[in-house]
Structure 1
Amino acid sequence: MELAETFTGQLLRHVRDRPQHPAVVFTEDPRSPDAESRLSYGQLHAAATRLAARLRAEYQPGSRMLLLYPSGLEFVVAFVACQYAGLVAVPAPEPDRHPYRRQRLLGIMRNSTSAAVLTTDSRASEVHGWMEAVGARLPVVTTDAETEDREPTGRDLADPSPDEPRAEALSFLQYTSGSTAAPRGTMVSQRNLAEHSRMFLAMLGITGPVSIGGWLPMFHDMGLVGHVVTPLFSGGTSVLMSPTSFLRRPGAWLTLIDRYRLYMSAAPNFGYDMCVARVSDEEIRQLDLSRWTVAINGSEPVQAHTVEQFTRRFAAAGLRPETVCPGYGLAEATLAVSLEWHRNRPTVIPVEAEPLTRHVLRPLVDARPDAGGYLPRLVGSGQAAGPEVRIVDPQTREVLPERTVGEIWVRGPSVAEGYWAAPEATAETFAAVTADGESGFLRTGDLGVLHGDELYVTGRIKEVLVVFGRNLYPQDIEAEARAYHESLVGLVGAAFTIPVPHEEVVLLHEYRPGKVDGDRADEAPRRLADALQLHLSRAFGAAVSVVLVPPRTIPRTTSGKVQRHRARQLFLDGAVRPVAANLTTLARRCEVGTRYPAEPVAAAPAGGAVG
């Protein structure tokens, strides 16, 4: 299959060669043919061309367009129209009622200096309401008309196709890192997108048009790059459903895979767990998953028990063990770095617990838990088929040998251009140099180890908290807690996640008694912990356990920087003495005095604390 140098160029070839072939399908309910809408390559091209003409008349090339869409055809048309018009797409989550997410969206809008918002008629009032609430002003462009008028006219077909953009031109900004106040947009160029598509198709064993899709949102890197860009680059079909449909009925995702014969579909680890827990035996009897070739598990830490339970549960529906495919990637590398897919079962290895805390991988021949009942098991993420991968000591920058844990560094043409409007962060993250002088590496902030040429991801240096596929930021949670009550002002906190078995958020925060406000003094901390737990869980849309501790409990560096990884380890080791706590049911397993297994790597890499 001859491939173009850019995503847009490749798409235009398919428009020319296969205009009647379905490009995008969206369904509200995979069980019902009446719930489906679709666009052929010719229809997608016509709709995107019309919208691109509107946008080109109003906005200069390179302007950023904030895309606020539900999952569906309209998003894909808007994204392609931006490529045709030479504009930079900025996919982002729609505004909702959560204050944290509303403020983060405002941060994305401001950081990207977006020129306009693109959305649908049905969402326009919500967008206007959000902008009014946060004091923002941007033109709002609704794009339904272009999508609803699906048939290409003679004029559409006669109009010259847009020029293929320069390979170095930006395609979109992917906002997955940074805090609410200072979000970071990863700059993905046309070249990055094309190079990644070539590499990803090769990783997946794809040599021609295939159907790929799923339920991940379009502002998610796997949702956009994995489920939309990749099938369109191959000349195949992108098949989509909404995240809401999946959350309401996880079996709908598997029905989608069955009905549309998807070659690849991906989800975070929690998505597979939801299927195991909530898909009934009757639903399984109605499924045929034998044609599902690649089931990528990524976007959050892959759990060995999830891989095993999902494979076992859906074997009755024809799922083959080799279909399950753990992977590692990040938006800064466009998407994928490595995949465990060699038409074999995923690799799961038990390792000795104590050496792993010292960043040494020692596989167990006779797998038995340690004295505390803990048996670490690592899931392989495969070989890096495209990018070069090094495991590096993050302090000394020395390249480490096999079986030694360090920071994962990546180099290759699919690595993004950097962070938008953040030259210092770009230089620090995207232009790393090893101690022996190898340059041009991306510092991922993740910890991993190579064993038998396979990558095993063991933890995170970056302090972003990944909870059910969502990114939360510890400094935001800590600041919100201090703003909530005077007894926390001037003190420090540490927010982190614990695996129980999904990652849940815990906030350890120092507490100094203030006004009792009519309560007995010994009841005030407990009441505060209860109220703060409710407030933070509502504010961030995720369960947050709260543990109040005496002043000077949270570990800090000599310069006063909070050491969140050390605080987390103290909590897991039962070494904190809480003044009061409000823990979720699962987090209670980690209560003081209870032995609970830490993640395989909880301490900082050799050479000192990280972060």
Structure 2
Amino acid sequence: MYLYDDNRRGSVPFKTTNLPLWGHSSEQNLVRILQQRANYQPSKTAYIFLDRGESEQCSLTYEELDKKARELAAILCNSHLQGERALLMYSPGIDFIIAFFACLYAGVIAVPIYPPRRNQSLDRLKAIIDDCQAKEVLTTSSIKNNLENSLIKYPELAHFQWIATDNLPTRINAHDFQPVRIDKDDLAFLQYTSGSTGNPKGVMVSHGNLIHNECMVKQAFGHTEQTIFAGWLPLFHDMGLIGNVLQPLYLGIPCILMSPVDFLQKPYRWLKAISDYRATTSGGPNFAYDLCIQKITDEQLKTLNLNSWEVAFNGAEPIRAETLEKFAQKFAPCGFRKEAFYPCYGMAEATLFITGGMSFNAPKYKTIDEKALEENQVVEVERQKPYSRTLVSCGHEWLEQTIKIVNPHSLTECKNNQVGEIWVSGGSVAKGYWQKPDKTKETFEAYLSDTKEGPFLRTGDLGFLSSEKELFVTGRLKDVMIIRGRNHYPQDIELTVEQSHPALRSSCGAAFVVGNTGNERLIIVQEVERTYLRKLNQQEVTSAIRQAVAKHHGLQVHEVILIRTATIPKTSSGKIQRYRCKEQFLKQMLDYLPSNSSCSTQVTLKRTA
């Protein structure tokens, strides 16, 4: 039968037989699942990678993936690397997937990481290697060659064992190798957090965590053997790896992949892949939908057919109601339905997915009073009322996972419609941070102070549960700015800023505070659209920012910093790194636009926190 029901929307170029879809089981793991896929559906396409996001570059069947993973795993075992850590440093593509499963087969703890660019600082790479005590780096010949000059400055990295998996000297008969025995509590890999609020830490994800989370995603997203994935998310990041690579394998269905760079250069490629392959599940952070709204032309719209798209997940804060509505309106003529949108919430410390709604329902919104929110209270108001904010529901609990909203100071549970820190417990919560027992205890072993219920994962995110038990995320605990004794959420101010003038880039600004209590100074750092760089009237733009922030938030902006396109610090999933932006501001390391005759509004600060 066809993977997608021809009678509903359209057929696809993949066929399958009825295949088992495993539920959550303590005896299951991804190695066993891949072996079963290779035995029972050997010629089924598992992954297709698109060259420049447009034409098929290469593909893997389940039999090919199993064979290649066994070959590399045998080499790893012969090098006595079982239980050791190995960095996986690959450009997006098939090589990464093979290396990841080879590590699982050999009992090597994989540490996915994006390869540094040529001549880029290797400080972060060195920090991760020092933290996880990696014994080797799995990569390709081209990446290793590109890094040779950089390694001269870091001789301690050059002495590591670098294995170019695309140029192995010998091949071992794959049938002679048997994967190591795996227990559900064994570590599968270390997911280094992208560092939106601090230094990266290695999250210890077990095999049991992975199976629990994959089962939860399957149930919540409504996936079946007819599901088809398409995606561009970075494979070393939790959303790309666990969502776009491991969920398709768990389901036994195909995934069409492309490089994040190819998507960013031309967002049309993403939607065209969905259209061409009749993909049913695809998604990314909120900014990806904004890019499609901004960059895809009317002529390109005529070539798209998006009526196969059933689950358009949006999984990184802030999820903006305006983005969902504009995207649904623009792409409705292509067959996109607003009910396809699937806002959800998750993080690496919980493997990936935490909450989501019912996949066949349209997104749910709640408009609340901003002044009440400053006091951690939820008061619903009309959508168009001044000083209001529309939030998007991130759904509810799944698979016996528990969500609590907790006062971060008293550590007691909040009532419904009261803002507090989001706490999570369940089978997807990871084992902790690698080699950081104190931080693990602080983050992963929280208990309610009155009932002693626990342990819970403290997410560091703020939000509330509605009376219907729907989760609404309001921001990051560490990002909340206290100005004159009142709470302000930086993402609200950042949205006001970017909408104040057409020269400002969407989702490319940071708001933060410097100074001591009682002397807080609001700083705005904002990227400018590339097309405006040469003709920018900086005085006009900074004045528009100041007026908008004063009008909508009642705040005075102490300094506006306009910076070049694509220079604001972001995580791999597109989140603004406000702490790094503040650090660069204080050290005067931002990529400032050169002043012009129209600009004389910046205030010179003594750069102290």
TM-score, normalised with respect to structure 2 = 0.75
Partner Cα distance (2:319, 2:395) in 1: 12
* Contact 2:328/2:336 (<8 A) preserved: yes
Counterpart pick for 2:128 among 98, 108, 121: 108
Deviations 1:472-496 (A, max 9, x none): xxxxxxxxxxxxxxxxxxxxxxx97
* Contact 2:383/2:390 (<8 A) preserved: no
* Contact 2:510/2:526 (<8 A) preserved: no
Give the alignment of 1:82-121 within 5 angstroms: 82-96=103-117, 102-121=122-141
**Aligned counterpart, 1:16:** 39
Partner Cα distance (1:287, 1:187) in 2: 41
Extract unaligned runs of 5+ from structure 2. Answer: 1-20, 482-488, 499-505, 517-522, 528-537, 539-548, 566-609
Counterpart pick for 2:340 among 300, 323, 328: 323
Cα distance, 1:312 vs structure 2: 0.8
Partner Cα distance (1:56, 1:503) in 2: 45
Is 1:123 the counterpart of 2:143? The answer is: yes
* Contact 2:48/2:257 (<8 A) preserved: yes
* Contact 2:141/2:167 (<8 A) preserved: no
Cα distance, 1:182 vs structure 2: 5.0
**Aligned counterpart, 1:582:** 561
Partner Cα distance (1:257, 1:210) in 2: 12
* Contact 1:116/1:139 (<8 A) preserved: yes
CA separation of 1:396 and 1:415: change in aligned 2, threshold 3 A: same
SS of the residue 1:351 aligns to: strand
* Contact 1:107/1:180 (<8 A) preserved: no
Partner Cα distance (2:238, 2:511) in 1: 26
Cα distance, 1:97 vs structure 2: 5.5
Counterpart pick for 2:396 among 363, 383, 399: 383
Cα distance, 1:222 vs structure 2: 0.5
Cα distance, 1:458 vs structure 2: 0.5
Cα distance, 1:279 vs structure 2: 0.7
Give the alignment of 1:274-293 within 5 angstroms: 274-293=291-310
- What code does the residue aligned with 2:80 have? Y
SS of the residue 2:182 aligns to: coil
Cα distance, 1:573 vs structure 2: 4.4
**Aligned counterpart, 1:66:** 87
Partner Cα distance (2:196, 2:393) in 1: 30
Give the alignment of 1:145-544 within 5 angstroms: 145=167, 155-156=173-174, 158-159=175-176, 161-176=178-193, 182-208=199-225, 210-364=227-381, 366-370=382-386, 374-386=387-399, 387-435=401-449, 436-451=451-466, 452-463=468-479, 498-499=494-495, 500=498, 502=507, 504-506=509-511
Cα distance, 1:126 vs structure 2: 2.2
Partner Cα distance (1:129, 1:425) in 2: 36
Cα distance, 1:340 vs structure 2: 3.0
SS of the residue 1:418 aligns to: coil
Q: How many residues are paired up?
A: 494
Partner Cα distance (1:341, 1:123) in 2: 42
Cα distance, 1:269 vs structure 2: 0.5
Partner Cα distance (2:180, 2:561) in 1: 59
* Contact 2:463/2:472 (<8 A) preserved: yes
Deviations 1:359-386 (A, max 9, x none): 111222x33322xxx3200001011213
Is 1:28 the counterpart of 2:28? The answer is: no
**Aligned counterpart, 1:600:** none
CA separation of 1:506 and 1:377: change in aligned 2, threshold 3 A: closer
* Contact 1:214/1:240 (<8 A) preserved: yes
Question: Once the two structures are aligned, what percentage of the paired residues are identical?
Answer: 36
Extract unaligned runs of 5+ from structure 1. Answer: 466-494, 512-528, 535-544, 546-567, 587-611
Partner Cα distance (1:103, 1:59) in 2: 28
Cα distance, 1:147 vs structure 2: 13
**Aligned counterpart, 1:43:** 64
Deviations 1:343-400 (A, max 9, x none): 1110122112221111111222x33322xxx320000101121321000001111111
Partner Cα distance (1:235, 1:533) in 2: 44
- What code does the residue aligned with 2:446 have? A
- What code does the residue aligned with 2:99 have? A
SS of the residue 2:156 aligns to: coil
Cα distance, 1:283 vs structure 2: 1.3
Q: Which moved more, 1:11-20 or 1:191-200?
A: 11-20
* Contact 2:311/2:359 (<8 A) preserved: no
* Contact 2:403/2:425 (<8 A) preserved: yes
Counterpart pick for 1:142 among 164, 184, 203: 164
Partner Cα distance (1:336, 1:311) in 2: 24
Partner Cα distance (1:329, 1:181) in 2: 18
* Contact 2:53/2:259 (<8 A) preserved: no
Deviations 1:203-244 (A, max 9, x none): 111233632230111111101000001101111122210011
* Contact 2:228/2:281 (<8 A) preserved: yes
Partner Cα distance (2:478, 2:514) in 1: 20
* Contact 2:119/2:147 (<8 A) preserved: no
* Contact 1:250/1:274 (<8 A) preserved: yes
**Aligned counterpart, 1:53:** 74
Deviations 1:141-167 (A, max 9, x none): 001147999xxx9x53x4354244111
CA separation of 1:462 and 1:92: change in aligned 2, threshold 3 A: farther
Aligned-residue Cα RMSD (Å) equals 3.2
Deviations 1:148-192 (A, max 9, x none): 99xxx9x53x43542441111111111115599953110001110
SS of the residue 1:136 aligns to: helix
* Contact 2:313/2:343 (<8 A) preserved: yes
Cα distance, 1:262 vs structure 2: 1.8
SS of the residue 1:313 aligns to: helix
TM-score, normalised with respect to structure 1 = 0.75
